[in-house]
Amino acid sequence: MNRRFLALPVLLTTALLGACANPPAAAPPADSLARIKQTQTLRLGFREDAKPFSYKGADGAPAGYSVELCKRVAGSLQSQLQLNKLDVQWIPVTATTRVPSVKDGTVDLECGSTSRTLGREQQVDFSNTIWVEGASFVSKSSAPIARAPDLNGKRVAVIPGTTTDRVLRGLSDRGIAPVFVTVKTHTEGIAAVRDGRAEAYATDRLILVGEVLGGPAGETLRLSDEYLSMETYSLMMRRDPDMRLAVNRALSEIYRSGEITRVFRQSFPSGAVPSPLIEAVYVLNALPE
């Protein structure tokens, strides 16, 4: 008999015994809370340029309204999971990588300026509302664009795949057809207006307010008074009802206790106050136990 065939059972037996002797390492739990409890680590995603919601501060650390909320959510999760300690890791994400990073478990919770949409809900979970915002646009002060119809035929910078991108493309139904200039970040969008590659940059209005009031290009920019859309912001996480409940429990406590007032004052310029719409967000989402 051919020796190769005689040797085959021996090789198979050896391989099987080797597999039994060296079982694969246990995979981390698929359940988000179980993984957080097992590793005592919470991975928070943040944006580096979505001021005033989520950005890299002057000291290099994450800062902003959503970041401050997530810090308090982290404290609540530590208490809910009865952990002596919880290591918080901050992971930068972009408009392009934020959803994939949540889906594949790179981050447990995204603390940015993400609009809640039905399309995104097919892929990920969202917390209760943390903010209500709308899209608008900036242009050069020397060549201001005031209204949406004035965008027709103009070069408008936008981050592709965002809700603002979809809103701008929907303007064609009103006979408004901008010429799209693709950018990757808010910083690049503002720069495109400053250097003339684009005549306007469109994104969420409060982010633009942060650039006009606090950014280095503020004096050279004009912010339109017109809203292109109205959207709700939420914290984003993997599809996990237990994790969503834990995060919403934390947010409800922040709203009920009045801690949200401290978060607001810490995140926005002195003298700023929540609009009646934002006050309603806090009241409506201060859910009882």
Classify residue 236 by its DSSP letter.
E
What's the confidence (pLDDT) of residue 22? 46
Note down pLDDT in tens along the chain; length 289 residues: 444 333 334 333 333 334 334 444 444 456 999 999 999 999 999 999 898 999 999 999 999 999 999 999 999 999 999 999 999 999 999 999 999 999 999 999 999 999 999 999 999 999 999 999 889 999 999 999 999 999 999 999 999 999 999 999 999 889 999 999 999 999 899 999 999 999 999 998 888 887 776 666 667 899 898 889 888 999 999 999 999 999 999 999 999 999 999 999 999 888 788 888 899 999 999 999 9
What's the confidence (pLDDT) of residue 62? 98
32-132+232-284 and 135-229, same CATH topology: yes
One DSSP character per residue, 212-276 reads HHHSTTGGGEEE-S--S--EEE--EE-S-HHHHHHHHHHHHHHHHHTHHHHHHHHHS-TT----H
CATH 3.40.50.720 fits 32-132+232-284, yes or no: no
| Token pair of 223 as six digits | 């912010």
Structural domain boundaries of the chain?
Answer: 32-132+232-284, 135-229
Reference 92, options 125, 51, 43; nearest CA is 43
Q: Which CATH class name applies to 135-229?
A: alpha beta
What's the confidence (pLDDT) of residue 112? 96
What's the confidence (pLDDT) of residue 77? 98
Reference 274, options 179, 115, 132; nearest CA is 132
What's the confidence (pLDDT) of residue 206? 84
Q: How far apart are CA 31 and CA 19, in angstroms?
A: 27
Reference 127, options 114, 144, 145; nearest CA is 114
Reference 176, options 158, 154, 161; nearest CA is 154
Q: How far apart are CA 207 and CA 157, in angstroms?
A: 15
